């Protein structure tokens, strides 16, 4: 049997096979601490770089931020770091345009109804965004890992605990590489700190929804967040007790799970949606940047594909969500990779993309391209929400400037394509009647 490859050999092999050996040393150095003894981490990156290669990305399309996130953050947020559980990681404002889509699309009118946010993550910040955006709607948030308690330390970092008192997950207040490292470097100590806080605050909580002491906070999320328009269930796809859903959103969930699971998922959604109801499945990063999603509608009792849409920053992403995928048969990720390949293969369009993207990165001061031809580092003084805001602004301007041109390229390639109600590029996927 061949001896296992060393970490430098694995990194060199990715560089050779996927970037023709041209990844700068600084980028490779960012991967130098990668825990390559973890097969899930190696598999993820193999798949990630393979998708980039398929999408015709070259080393000047790789961002230092991607390398840093892949090198030091990724291993902490994969299910492998959480006993195989998909972490409830989420960020507020993530689905801002997807909420807008619910109110403004050509398939269903905006009449308020029942909105199911499945795999909502925790704390339910994206669900709370939806409650605010969808006035008059009933919102049901469901997740199999719904915590019994959430403990916040004085800095706002938090940990979730299940009904048995087991810690399930922790996350920094503003997730950046630095803040994640600070918590996860010594995960045992972090868990012990959160447990001490839980033990200290729990007796004071009683039947209440939250209790604070010295800047720390203990929350009983179901009691705190439930309202006349928002309810919760601790359950996943197939198990949530619900009927007559008008719109279901399942975001940043299915790219962890394989196509067999997805087939069962689609059957279940077909049962729980009301006639005319919409199903939105996909993934995105911040402010609906790096977004890819499928839209289905229940017609005559069956799910019909309405569109597959994506934001154009997937053609030049700053972060890792475009190619974040744990399985090799995720529908949206594969379709995105194919469409990105087609667009990036069109020399004239690629030139336009690069020039518009470089100008927008400059304009929004979003890690612009340097004189060496590579993207620069993200300004370290920027907080997470500032980075997310700029990512959203660049994505939105890119869509505005280039969506029609991208559609023209895809149409010339034989696709039924259009700019959708959010300004994203949309196609009708072919050969996927009930995907
Ligand atoms: C990365 S989080 C996404 C959270 C949120 N939807 C967002 O987009 O920010 C993935 C969530 O999927 C949930 N999940 C895992 N298996 C699931 C299942 N079978 N059904 C529904 N949700 C599931 C996890 O508990 C986790 O909270």
Q: Which of 95, 121, 146 for a ligand 1 pocket mutation test, highest count of atoms within 8 Å of Cβ?
A: 121
Of ligand 1's atoms, which has the minimum distance to the CA of residue 237?
20
Of ligand 1's atoms, which has the minimum distance to the CA of residue 239?
20
What is the share, in percent, of the chain residues with pLDDT greater than 90?
90
For 380-433, list the strands marked E by DSSP: 417-419, 425-427
Strands 158-161 and 245-251: unpaired
Q: Reply yes or no on whether the pLDDT at 242 is more than 90.
A: yes
Judge whether 434 and 302 are in contact, CB under 8 Å.
yes
Average pLDDT over residues 278-306: 98
The DSSP result for 253-321, as a single string, is SGGGS-HHHHHHHHHHHHHHEEEEEEEEEEE--STT-S-EEEEEEEETTEEEEEEEEE-GGGGS-SSSS
Please give the structure tokens belonging to residue 371: 């004189």
Question: Per-residue pLDDT tens for 333-373?
Answer: 999 999 999 999 999 999 999 999 999 999 999 999 999 99
Closest C-alpha residue for ligand 1 atom 26: 88
Map tokens 């003084």 to a residue.
381
Is the shortest distance between the CB of 119 and ligand 1 below 6 Å?
A: yes
For residue 296, give the nearest of 410, 418, 406, 428 by alpha carbon. 428
Question: Per-residue pLDDT tens for 374-399?
Answer: 999 999 899 888 999 999 999 999 99
Find the angle CA(25)-CA(31)-CA(32) to the nearest 5 degrees: 85
- For 377: left if phi > 0, alpha if psi spans -120 to 50, otherwise beta; the answer is beta
Q: What was the pLDDT predicted at 434?
A: 38
Question: Per-residue pLDDT tens for 293-338?
Answer: 999 999 999 999 999 999 999 999 999 999 999 999 999 999 999 9
For residue 334, give the nearest of 222, 240, 255, 228 by alpha carbon. 255
Q: What does the alpha-carbon distance between residue 341 and residue 57 come to, in Å, rounded to a whole number? A: 8
Judge whether 119 and 253 are in contact, CB under 8 Å.
yes
Strands 425-427 and 302-310: antiparallel
Map tokens 């109110």 to a residue.
103
Q: How many CB atoms lie within 10 A of CB 383?
A: 11
Average pLDDT over residues 33-50: 96
This prediction's pTM: 0.94
């Amino acid at each position: 049997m061949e001896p296992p490859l060393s970490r430098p050999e694995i990194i060199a092999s990715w560089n050779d096979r996927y970037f023709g050996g041209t990844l700068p040393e600084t980028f490779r150095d960012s991967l130098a601490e990668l825990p390559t003894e973890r097969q899930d981490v190696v598999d993820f990156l193999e798949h990630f770089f393979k998708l980039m290669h398929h999408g015709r990305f070259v080393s000047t399309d790789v961002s230092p931020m991607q390398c840093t996130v892949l090198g030091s953050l990724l291993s902490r947020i994969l299910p492998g770091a959480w006993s195989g559980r998909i972490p409830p990681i989420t960020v507020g404002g993530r689905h801002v345009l997807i909420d807008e889509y619910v109110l403004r699309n050509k398939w269903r009118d905006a009449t308020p109804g029942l909105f199911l946010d499945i795999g909502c993550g925790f704390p339910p910040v994206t669900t709370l965004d939806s409650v605010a955006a969808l006035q008059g709607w009933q919102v049901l948030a469901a997740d199999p890992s719904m915590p019994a308690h959430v403990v916040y330390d004085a800095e706002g970092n938090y940990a979730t605990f299940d009904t048995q008192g087991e810690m399930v997950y922790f996350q920094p207040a503003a997730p950046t590489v630095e803040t994640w490292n600070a918590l996860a470097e010594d995960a045992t100590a972090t868990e012990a700190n959160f447990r001490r806080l839980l033990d200290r605050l729990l007796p004071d909580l009683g039947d209440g929804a939250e209790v604070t002491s010295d800047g720390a906070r203990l929350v009983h999320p179901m009691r705190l967040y439930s309202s006349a328009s928002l309810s919760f269930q601790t359950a996943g796809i197939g198990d949530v007790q619900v009927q007559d859903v008008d719109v279901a959103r399942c975001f940043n969930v299915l790219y962890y799970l394989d196509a067999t699971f997805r087939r069962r998922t689609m059957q279940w959604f077909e049962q729980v949606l009301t006639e005319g109801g919409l199903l939105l499945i996909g993934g995105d990063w911040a402010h609906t940047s790096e977004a890819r999603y499928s839209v289905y509608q229940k017609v005559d009792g069956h799910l019909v594909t309405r569109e597959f849409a994506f934001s154009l920053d997937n053609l030049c992403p700053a972060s890792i969500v475009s190619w974040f995928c744990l399985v090799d048969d995720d529908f949206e990720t594969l379709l995105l990779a194919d469409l990105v390949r087609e667009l990036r293969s069109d020399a004239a369009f690629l030139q336009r993309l690069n020039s518009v993207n470089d100008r927008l990165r400059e304009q929004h001061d979003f890690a612009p391209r340097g004189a060496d031809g590579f993207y620069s580092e993200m300004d370290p003084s920027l907080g997470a929400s500032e980075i997310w805001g700029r990512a959203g602004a660049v994505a939105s301007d890119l869509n505005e400037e280039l969506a029609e041109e991208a559609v023209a390229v895809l149409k010339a390639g034989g696709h039924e394509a259009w700019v959708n109600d959010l300004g994203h590029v949309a196609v009708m996927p072919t050969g996927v009647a009930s995907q």
